[in-house]
Structure 1
Amino acid sequence: MSYHKNILNYLESTKTGKILFLSDFRGLGTTSAIKMSLSRISQTGGLKRLCHGIYVKSSKNNKKEVKIDVDDVLKAISKKHNIRLLPSGEIALYKLNIIPEMPKRLVYITDGEPKNLKIQDQTIIFKPSTPNKLSMRGETSSLVIQALEAIGKNNVNEDILSKLNQAITKERKDFLLEDVAKAPAWIYDILFKMEKN
């Protein structure tokens, strides 16, 4: 059986929309043969290339567009490479409804290697960070802390505080208390007062 046929059979058993990596095809052919085969399938249908080494399973005729959720791609990368990825800066501001639009340049802090990816029209940057920032347990409390750091101590107003207060009520109290203790002093003071109100 040819390398190409092996890869086609593998894709046949793969669910449409699944994120795939070049390394997923190891054992089905040499690296160069796999790359050639994936390139061919991407052109004829059944696979869509998202960026270097990352694909998504699509329909064979490519008539039905596969909707790509960047969060799903990032979760797949995190699981595949056993790294942590946490949204920082403007992503946190968007997710907390402080800014109206998702930024085109998405920065995630990580314990992995620095990396730049281009998926669709979005640039994704992996920025190495400290273990302390990456040890946050609560998804919402982590977003709030990242958002406040992006805003800066002197730019926090009542409208922002109101939105953050609404978000923080959804966090588990034990996670919130643990994460607040790791925050910079000025952020700790803000969140401590919120938690007490």
Structure 2
Amino acid sequence: MPIPTEKLIKNSISNHKRGKIFFPKNFSKFGTSEAIRQALKRLEDKGFLIRLAQGIYLYPKEHKLLGTLYPSLEEIAKAISKRDKARIIPTGIQALNQLGLSTQVPLNLVYLTDGTSRTISVGENTIKFKKASPKILAVKSETNILIMQALRQLGKHNIDDKTLEKINMILQKVDRESIVHDMKLAPVWISEIMQNSLSKREPT
């Protein structure tokens, strides 16, 4: 007698640590797309899984005091990019936050991607994936990408000396070759900031 799709999926999920994010695609070998959809719905109804968004499920982890521990929007975005084998680039406030230039945590995330453009609703929040230009995808250093996105968010006329000092400190840890390459792909005013940082380096 064949094993029901629901049981196959449950057994597969149980082999992983709690807190892991799953997609229907993870279980394609266990049945048709409709059988998998129905099985995931039943597992959700039983409380074995939590549906985070359409087609995105959580194998929940519980904390004695905090209750169910949900993944951050960033963790969900990274799981989606891994599933799609797509690159994602943080933008705006998130880029500022990752560089330590802001303590503000964005409620909605926007990523540039070489994958599919889409908006995913997660509760009251959203994760938006926008098609990245070939120019930004050609940037070698992830740090340089974050700097470019952070400075774009601030705007040319809102960069103070304190921000420039922090940017310079961050760029000191990026190899010269990457900066020289990547600054050619940045807007002129951002390129000038990167060039200025290079000029302050000790000769090697």
User: Structure 1-normalised TM-score?
Assistant: 0.88
Rounded Cα–Cα distance in structure 2 between residues aligned with 1:164 and 1:62:
38
Aligned to 1:157: 160
CA 1:173–1:74 in 2, change beyond 3 Å: closer, same or farther? farther
Structure 1 partner of 2:72: 69
Shift of 1:150: 1.8
1:108 touches 1:127 (CA, 8 Å); kept in 2?
Answer: yes
Partner SS, residue 27 of structure 1: helix
3-state secondary structure, aligned to 1:65? strand
Q: Secondary structure at the match of 2:68?
A: coil
User: 1:109, 1:134 within 8 Å by CA — same for their partners in 2?
Assistant: no
Say if 1:136 and 1:31 are closer, same or farther in 2 by CA, change over 3 A.
same
CA-based RMSD of the aligned residues comes to 2.1
Give how far 1:62 is off: 9.2
Structure 2 residue corresponding to 1:105, chosen from 94, 108, 111: 108
List per-residue Cα deviations over 1:47-88 (Å, max 9, x = no partner): 2222111112225x8975234133332222222112111001
Among residues 41, 44, 51, which one is paired with 2:53 in the alignment?
A: 51
Deviation at 1:121, TM superposition (A): 4.5
Q: Contact (CA 8 Å) 2:93, 2:150: kept in 1 or not?
A: yes
1:136-155 matches, cutoff 5 A? 136-155=139-158
Aligned partner letter, 2:41: S
Shift of 1:189: 0.8
Query: Secondary structure, in 3 states, of the residue corresponding to 1:36?
Result: helix
What CA distance in whole angstroms lies between the structure 2 residues aligned with 1:82 and 1:91? 21
State the number of aligned residues. 196
Q: Equivalent of 2:23, from 18, 21, 24? A: 21
Runs of at least 5 residues in structure 2 that lack an aligned partner in the other structure? none
Q: Give secondary structure in 1 for the equivalent of 2:128.
A: strand
Q: 1:96 corresponds to which residue?
A: 99
The offset of 1:45, in angstroms, is 2.8
SS at match of 1:15: coil
| Residue 79 (str. 1) matches residue 59 (str. 2) | no
Encode CA deviations 1:69-124: one digit per residue, 9 max, x unaligned. 33332222222112111001221122223332111121101112211112344311
- CA offsets per residue over residues 150-197 of structure 1, 9 Å max, x none? 222222211221221222223233322222221111111111001221
Which AA in structure 1 matches 2:8? N
Aligned equivalents of 1:100, 1:72: Cα separation in 2: 18
Contact 1:45–1:62 (Cα < 8 Å) also in 2: no
How far, CA to CA, are the matches of 2:107 and 2:100 in structure 1? 16
Identity rate of aligned residues, in percent? 34
User: Does residue 2 of structure 1 match 2:4?
Assistant: yes
Counterpart check, 1:167 vs 2:175: no
SS in 2 for 1:116: strand
Q: Say if 1:122 and 1:177 are closer, same or farther in 2 by CA, change over 3 A.
A: farther
Q: Do the aligned partners of 1:88 and 1:109 also contact (CA within 8 Å) in 2?
A: yes
| Further displaced range: 83-92 or 176-185 | 176-185
